[in-house]
Amino acid sequence: MHRTGRTRRTFVTGAAAAAGSAALPAGQAAAAPRGPRAGRTVAVLGGGVAGLTAAHELAERGFAVTVLEKKGLGGKARSMDVPDSARGGRRPLPGEHGFRFIPGFYRNLPDTLRRIPFPGNRNGCHDNLVASTEVMLARTGREDIRLPFSTLGTPPGPLSPDDLLRTVTGLLVTAANLPAHEVAYFANRVLVFFTSCDKRRLDDWERTSWWSFLRAARMSADYQQLLAIGITRNIVATKAEVASTRTVANCFEAFFFNMLGRTADGEPDRVLNAPTNEAWIDPWVAHLRSLGVRFEVGATVLDLPYADGRVTGAVVRDADGTRRTVTADHYVCAMPVEHARTVWGRALRAADPQLGRADRLETDWMTGIQFYLTEPTPVIHGHINHLDSPWSLTSVGQAQFWKGRNFPADYGDGQVRDCLSVDISEWSRPGILYGRTAKQCTREEVAREVWAQLKAALNDTGRTVLRDSALHSWFLDPAVDGIGTPEPRNDDQLLIHPTGTWFNRPTARTAVPNLFLAGDYVAVDIDLATMEGANAAARQAVNALLDASGSAAPRCTVTPLYRAPEFDALKRHDEFRYGLGLPNLFDLG
């Protein structure tokens, strides 16, 4: 193996760790770093949410951590400067891979946010979360549906099956105006899942698409758009026709009880009160540096050589093309799955077959574009699902949530007053302007097509919401490259969840004693490619590392999604029925 650059000796002496082996209580300042003991150096491969979470937990427990990141710290969660957009001493316009959505049913990520100090905030970066108050399903050529998040309120006590049916039915009758029999059927399917035992969820519903579970093919177009497609796009950002029912319904269940105020971290829909790096990533990196974490940005991991039953190093290429090997006692692979599996060589895969199964995991394109506007254009105080848009658009007006910022005074050239951030989820369907897919369009054509689809959804009810004259500029994630050519590329893709995906998701602990996996593709309770999933996977990876190293440090808390205790008895009954080969008690077929 070719070895250049840093040795293990330089890795150890160049890294520092926080004193002590115990995790620090929230809000407590770190002790001064000191040199690590033998066996306590860790190379974290990837600086996204998973990698930074792993570094955070390990540094608090006295490990010497170096994070290797190819692009920018924060990964897909980061915000980024729009090149050449700053004038007059202002900051560059903020761009991003996609807008942040941090629902109240997340339970692990919020804990990390509380432990990141932020000036003036008692609860650290967590206090930078602000709640939206509504969501809109924008219909093209039809009346839009606006839903306040206070619609359901908090029920007076435990829910019975009848209470659940009435709650779901009441919401849909009020908001969706669907045929009564379709509303009743959807409410029944919700009850079936909520009362299904874990065995049925895994063996049956993991292998059944959400589309099939809802019998969407037999229902009206509105049922399909609102309940099959709309729910998956808003809550889990995946495709109803192929997505596992277990994945979709697990998160729908948590979101539903979050709306009822059940054991939630906060409001159902929350965003940050500033661009992501300002509100979260930059303070996080600064805090990790204070704990002794070292960062090497521009280091691309090429290979994880394996010999004598262990990973022997991480071969990296620096931004200047230099190849070198970084060595440590332990390695946490926190890269996105499409990149991670390129560095798992044949010998490593032979040592742990679950690495090979990860090749079956699928990714797809979901990428953001931001439109900078010269007039405030909040539309609503929350997210918008452009339900009929061919490219499956979702959007949010951001400036309204950045209360501590004066957009024209702080960013750009002084003319921009708002940022409409849009996620494009469908890249392989023809648009309305050019009749081509997003992958077939140039970057400029993508921007014009998305703008046209936004206007078609928002300017169709007698008022002009988006004005061409207010469009200042736009920014498309630079990870998208080569579109409009025969070889379109996206370097930052999203893990998707077709039926059966769970069985190919690896665990954080591998059969290789010094290799651990952290990322939103790792098997965790939320079972969804999210920042919460990445955070939970990193916690599991750290716990596995602590076990392997014999550390006495406290293990990370990994909190599962909320599940209503009043349905436990029905789930036990369903487990009995499942063992007899019978359907769920409430399943009408």
DSSP-derived secondary structure for 490-516: ESS-EE--BTTGGGGPPPSB-SSTTEE
The number of angstroms, rounded, from the C-alpha of 92 to the middle of its chain's C-alpha atoms is 25
Same fold, 8-70+298-361+504-549 and 92-132+269-274+366-490: no
Contact 562, 264 (CB under 8 A): yes
Count CB atoms within 10 A of the CB of residue 309. 10
The residues pairing with 424 across neighbouring beta strands, listed in sequence order, are 367, 393
Give the Cα separation of 559 and 475 in Å (integer). 37
Give the Cα separation of 525 and 428 in Å (integer). 30
Domain ranges for the chain, please list them. 8-70+298-361+504-549, 92-132+269-274+366-490, 150-266+564-579
Q: Residue 69 class from Cβ within 10 Å (0-12 exposed, 13-18 middle, 19+ buried)?
A: buried
- Residue 317 host element (H or E): strand 314-317
Quick check: helix, strand or coil at residue 299?
coil
3's CB contacts (< 8 A; 6+ apart) are 313, 324, 325
Half-sphere exposure of 405 (CA within 13 A, CB side): 26
pLDDT at 236: 55
pLDDT at 175: 60
Say if pTM beats, i.e. exceeds, 0.75. Answer: yes
Q: Angle at which helices 282-290 and 49-60 pack, to 10 degrees?
A: 30
- Residue 419 host element (H or E): strand 418-424
Contact 114, 26 (CB under 8 A): yes
Instruction: List % helix, strand, coil for the chain (3-state, nearest 5).
Output: 35, 20, 45
pLDDT at 17: 34
Furthest C-alpha separation in the chain: 73
- Output the CATH code of domain 8-70+298-361+504-549: 3.50.50.60
Query: Tokens representing 528?
Result: 């969804």
pLDDT at 4: 37
In CATH, what class is 92-132+269-274+366-490? alpha beta
pLDDT at 9: 31
164: left (phi over 0), alpha (psi -120 to 50) or beta: alpha
Q: Tens-digit pLDDT profile for the chain (589 aa)?
A: 333 333 333 343 333 333 333 334 333 433 334 445 557 999 999 999 999 999 999 999 999 999 999 999 999 999 999 999 999 999 999 999 999 999 999 999 999 999 999 999 999 999 999 999 888 888 888 888 887 775 444 444 677 888 788 777 766 765 667 888 999 999 999 999 999 999 999 999 999 999 999 999 999 988 998 888 877 765 555 677 889 999 999 999 999 999 888 878 999 999 999 999 999 999 999 999 999 999 999 999 999 999 999 999 999 999 999 999 999 999 999 999 999 999 999 999 999 999 999 999 999 999 999 999 999 988 899 999 998 999 999 999 999 999 888 999 999 999 999 999 999 999 999 999 999 999 999 999 999 999 999 999 999 877 889 999 999 999 999 999 999 999 999 999 999 999 999 999 999 999 999 999 999 999 999 999 999 999 999 999 999 999 999 999 999 999 999 999 999 999 999 999 999 999 999 998 7
